Structure 1
Amino acid sequence: MCEIFISASPESYESRTRSVRLHGVVTSLRLENLYWDVLGEIGERDGMTVTQLLERLYDELASSRGEAVGNFASFLRVSALRYMALQAHQRIPTDVNVPIRSLDAREVLADWQDVRESAAA
């Protein structure tokens, strides 16, 4: 069992810090390389750079919650994992030429339970 996990390239779990400007405010985010790669793929699907994607996610999260965003790095990790889980369950196409913005969020999330919720059930 462990071979599946321990054979991962050490580069994939090394952390990298990026300084990004979110609405004129510079902030540093530290994530493992694999997360940066997944976020890059998500952004590319909609023609955005990672920084543009982060700004969009931050804005939409703050808007939906009506408050400042806490622990944004953890939110990004969960977003990357959720993206991969939705792909694994064929809710999001694996074809990276299909933009995320073209998908109907209600349809993608219909009857969807996050991994943690389904594991607890």
Structure 2
Amino acid sequence: MCQLFINADNQLWAYKTKSLRIDGVVTSIRLETFFWEILEELSFRDQITVNQMITKLYHESLDADHDISNFTSFLRVCASRYLSLIADGDLIRESDTSLSDVGTQDILGQESIRRRERKVRFNHAINKHSIN
């Protein structure tokens, strides 16, 4: 298993810092190359620049009263969730459908169900192993 990760291109975890302007304030975001590539894919899908998408996510997070004190972590989770939704079949990776045009509520509902089911399954497996 480890070789799958150890032998991957080490540039994927190299940091890359980008500067952008949000509401007139210049800010820098430092992420691994892997996450920048996923964010580029997300922005391409919605036909906007990465900077525009990040600004949009920032504003929508504020509107939703999210704690965005660690916005960089939020961006990593966004990228990871995107890949997870693809892996679970909720999104099609090569689609040019904008993310604002997908069935958000249905996808979030299915994701919630899967997370609960996985938690139960993993807890059951852990309990089974600790009994043996």
**Does the CA-based 8 Å contact 1:41-1:96 persist in structure 2?**
no
- The answer as to 2:5 corresponding to 1:5 is yes
Equivalent pair of 1:85/1:115 in contact (CA under 8 Å): no
Q: State how far apart, in whole Å, the 1-side matches of 2:113 and 2:61 are.
A: 17
Q: How many residues align?
A: 120
Asked if the contact 1:12–1:32 (Cα under 8 Å) also holds between the matched residues in 2, the reply is: yes
CA 1:114–1:76: 2 relative to 1, 3 Å: farther
Structure 2 unaligned blocks of 5 or more:
121-132
TM-aligned CA distance change 1:91 to 1:118, over 3 Å = same
- Please state whether the residue corresponding to 2:92 is helix, strand or coil: coil
Q: How many Å separate the matches in 1 of 2:9 and 2:69?
A: 30
| TM-score, with structure 2 as normaliser | 0.83
Q: 1:55 and 1:30 mapped to 2: Cα distance?
A: 15
Q: TM-score, normalised by structure 1?
A: 0.90
Q: Measure, in 2, the Cα distance between the counterparts of 1:107 and 1:77.
A: 23
Q: What amino acid is aligned across from residue 21 of structure 1 in structure 2?
A: R
TM-aligned CA distance change 1:15 to 1:95, over 3 Å: same
**Partner SS state of residue 112, structure 2:** coil
Counterpart in the other structure of 2:100: 101
**What letter is aligned with 1:104?**
G
| Distance in 1 between residues matched to 2:53 and 2:91, nearest whole Å | 17
**Partner of residue 130, structure 2:** none
Tell whether 2:43 aligns with 1:40: no
- Distance in 1, Cα, partners of 2:78 & 2:114: 12
The correspondence of residues 78-117 of structure 1 with structure 2, limited to 5 A, is: 78-113=77-112
Name the SS of the counterpart of 1:43 in structure 2.
Answer: helix
119 and 70 in structure 1: CA distance in 2 versus 1, 3 angstrom threshold: farther
C-alpha distance in 1, partners of 2:10/2:97? 30
> Greater shift after overlay, 100-109 or 37-46?
100-109
Seq. identity, %: 34
From the two aligned structures, give the one with the greater helix fraction: 2
C-alpha change, 1:97 and 1:113, in structure 2 (3 Å) is same
